[in-house]
Structure 1
Amino acid sequence: MSLVPVSDLLRKAEEGKYAVGAFNCNNMEIVQAIIAAAEAEKAPVIMQASQGAIKYAGIDYITAMARVAAEKASIPVALHLDHGTSFEQVMQCIRHGFSSVMIDGSKLPLEENIDLTNRVLAVARAVGVSVEAELGKIGGTEDDISVTDREALMTDPEEAKYFVEKTGVDSLAVAIGTAHGRYKGEPKLDFERLQKIRSLVNIPIVLHGSSGVPDDAIKTAIELGVRKVNIDTNIREAFVDKCREVLAKYPDEIDPRKVLGPAKEAAIEIIREKIRVFGSNGKA
């Protein structure tokens, strides 16, 4: 089947009270792993590409691989831009066939974020592409942030309500204590804040930086209204760890297929585990 907008998947997730996994793809093996895992679990799935992935693989390769994967799949597949930071980049992805985009204006003042999001929405809506925006700052795990500063970076529920009213965006990424990259300790999510946001905002909520968040915490977030959960670091860890393991056992191996093949299988397993945690298995 052809690529579908993320909004279609999240609408059904809202009805079923589960979340759809959004998994970052950087190369062919990870694209294949995402699809194989979703097929095995009979789950809808979101493949997403960051600016780094697009720079590494090239937008033509990313979209071509995703299109082929979706056409051959028996489950619904979306191709989503993760953390697009400029109008121009988002337009490039729409022109190349992405079915969903994220415009991340979270570093901008609120009104500028609203204006940028509305510019993207005006184009995306005209061509059937769904749009995710972000409010609050989801930092990296290496950021040296005090408790007071971290509080200031989290999404303000009243601002979230205002933002959604002024944009009508399809989904909203919120900052409730997660971070991108590897966690040094166990992340503490602000469920009270999430519950308040969801009571004021009647659209699907997106949780970024979810690798390393305990399964129970993810499940609680889903119960409170999260409908899209992003996973990248866990896939990288599984993939690269298996590569290291194979090369340590067979240091003279020069066939990349014998290294990357097992790495792909490791990625499939971690993605399948996440799909089951999100409750999207059997929902295709």
Structure 2
Amino acid sequence: MPLVTSKEIFQKAYDGKYAIGAFNVNNMEIIQGIVDAAKEESSPLILQVSAGARKYANPHYLKKLVEAAILDTNLPIVLHLDHGDSFEICKQCIDDGFTSVMIDASHHPFEENISIVKKVVEYAHDKGVVVEAELGRLAGIEDAVNVSDKDATFTNPDEAAEFVERTGVDSLAIAIGTSHGAYKFKGEPNLDFERLETISKLLPNFPLVLHGASTVLPEFVDLCNQYGGDIPGAKGVPEDMLRRAAQQGVCKINIDTDLRLAMTAAIRKSIIEDPKNFDPRKYLGAGRTAIKDMVKHKIANVLGSSNTI
């Protein structure tokens, strides 16, 4: 099976009131853990590559690893550019064989955002590639994305409807209270579901996207800290909120921080418990297993995409 776009799997997710996991990938072990989990759960996947991943691993290596994952599993997999910040980077990824790109011009004024997104959409659609854009700005830090609390803004529902109509974009990342990184909430977690409901009504049958949606499960934070980490007070989006969002038009939920925490916790534990071990296959293997277990949990208990292929 070749790489796929998100059109068909988003339509099924929308109709079935579940979400597809969009997992950030940086190396072979992360990819293997994710796809092994999805194969066991019979779930489609979005594997997404950020600017940081492209810089670290080289996009040619990552694309070949994703192609290997398809050969191994025969899963429907979307290869997606996460937070592309210019037409040029989106064009490069489209030309390199990505089946989905995100153009993030959300830091620009509304009209300029529309203009940039339209240019990407026109080029991508001509090549059979789908486009995600963003309206509203999430707080937090992730790779090249760094937005302070004072610069974060929630998505205006009326602007969202106008934005989709004028750009022809295929999906839209909205800001309703999630944030990038491990420190998503200072107080009690809260998402603006009233805003989400309004946007969904104005954009019926249209796939919405949640960025910054890792749960930051306490057991992995605790395990990291137990084995020498220093991650105090990390807090993510509760799983019941993510399930609720998936029932209100959110078809793509981005997950990165949870993967990092699970893998790092397992590697820390492996090295500390066996200080004589200097075989990367052993501690990276432990990390890969942790990724697999985490993703299986997400697919089955949070996203709801099990047995949907």
Output the TM-score relative to the length of structure 2. Answer: 0.88
Three-state SS of the structure 2 residue aligned to 1:68 is helix
Per-residue Cα deviation, 1:89-111 (whole angstroms, up to 9, x for no partner)? 01111111111000001001111
Q: How many angstroms apart in 1 are the aligned matches of 2:55 and 2:308? A: 33
Q: How many angstroms apart in 2 are the aligned matches of 1:96 and 1:61? A: 12
Which residue number in structure 2 is paired with residue 233 of structure 1? 257
Which residue number in structure 1 is paired with residue 305 of structure 2? 280
Confirm or deny: 8 A CA contact 2:140 2:149 kept in the other structure: no
Q: Unpaired segments of 5 or more residues in structure 1?
A: none
Which residue number in structure 1 is paired with residue 279 of structure 2? 255
Which residue number in structure 1 is paired with residue 201 of structure 2? 199
Matched, 1:145 2:149: yes
Q: Which moved more, 1:4-13 or 1:40-49?
A: 4-13
Confirm or deny: 8 A CA contact 1:6 1:80 kept in the other structure: no
Confirm or deny: 8 A CA contact 1:205 1:226 kept in the other structure: yes
Which residue number in structure 2 is paired with residue 42 of structure 1? 42
Three-state SS of the structure 2 residue aligned to 1:140 is strand
Q: In the TM superposition, what is the alpha-carbon distance from 1:7 to its structure 2 partner?
A: 2.1
Confirm or deny: 8 A CA contact 2:262 2:287 kept in the other structure: yes
Map 1:87-166 → 2, pairs under 5 A: 87-140=87-140, 145=149, 150=152, 153-166=153-166
Q: In the TM superposition, what is the alpha-carbon distance from 1:70 to its structure 2 partner?
A: 1.7
Which residue number in structure 1 is paired with residue 30 of structure 2? 30
Q: Unpaired segments of 5 or more residues in structure 2?
A: 215-235
Q: How many angstroms apart in 1 are the aligned matches of 2:304 and 2:116? A: 33
Per-residue Cα deviation, 1:182-218 (whole angstroms, up to 9, x for no partner)? 1254431000011111111131000000012111100
Q: How many angstroms apart in 2 are the aligned matches of 1:126 and 1:234? A: 35
Confirm or deny: 8 A CA contact 2:140 2:148 kept in the other structure: no
Q: How many angstroms apart in 2 are the aligned matches of 1:207 and 1:89? A: 22
- Coordinate RMSD, CA, aligned: 1.4
Per-residue Cα deviation, 1:203-245 (whole angstroms, up to 9, x for no partner)? 1000000012111100111111111000000000000110000
Q: In the TM superposition, what is the alpha-carbon distance from 1:80 to its structure 2 partner?
A: 0.4
Three-state SS of the structure 1 residue aligned to 2:113 is helix
Q: How many angstroms apart in 2 are the aligned matches of 1:219 and 1:100? A: 24
Counterpart residue type for residue 159 of structure 1? E
Which residue number in structure 2 is paired with residue 214 of structure 1? 238
Q: How many angstroms apart in 2 are the aligned matches of 1:8 and 1:131? A: 14
Map 1:163-182 → 2, pairs under 5 A: 163-182=163-182
Q: In the TM superposition, what is the alpha-carbon distance from 1:125 to its structure 2 partner?
A: 0.6
Three-state SS of the structure 2 residue aligned to 1:102 is strand
Give the % identical residues.
49
Q: In the TM superposition, what is the alpha-carbon distance from 1:143 to its structure 2 partner?
A: 5.9
Three-state SS of the structure 1 residue aligned to 2:62 is helix
Q: In the TM superposition, what is the alpha-carbon distance from 1:72 to its structure 2 partner?
A: 2.5
Output the TM-score relative to the length of structure 1. Answer: 0.95
Q: Which moved more, 1:177-186 or 1:129-138?
A: 177-186
Q: In the TM superposition, what is the alpha-carbon distance from 1:144 to its structure 2 partner?
A: 5.3
Three-state SS of the structure 2 residue aligned to 1:101 is strand
Which residue number in structure 2 is paired with residue 3 of structure 1? 3
Q: How many angstroms apart in 1 are the aligned matches of 2:7 and 2:252? A: 10
Counterpart residue type for residue 128 of structure 2? G
Q: How many angstroms apart in 2 are the aligned matches of 1:72 and 1:245? A: 29
Q: How many angstroms apart in 1 are the aligned matches of 2:298 and 2:140? A: 21
Q: How many angstroms apart in 1 are the aligned matches of 2:148 and 2:2? A: 43
Confirm or deny: 8 A CA contact 1:136 1:156 kept in the other structure: yes
Confirm or deny: 8 A CA contact 1:7 1:171 kept in the other structure: no
Which residue number in structure 1 is paired with residue 192 of structure 2? 190
Confirm or deny: 8 A CA contact 2:207 2:251 kept in the other structure: yes
Counterpart residue type for residue 89 of structure 1? I
Q: Which moved more, 1:42-51 or 1:70-79?
A: 70-79
Q: In the TM superposition, what is the alpha-carbon distance from 1:6 to its structure 2 partner?
A: 1.7
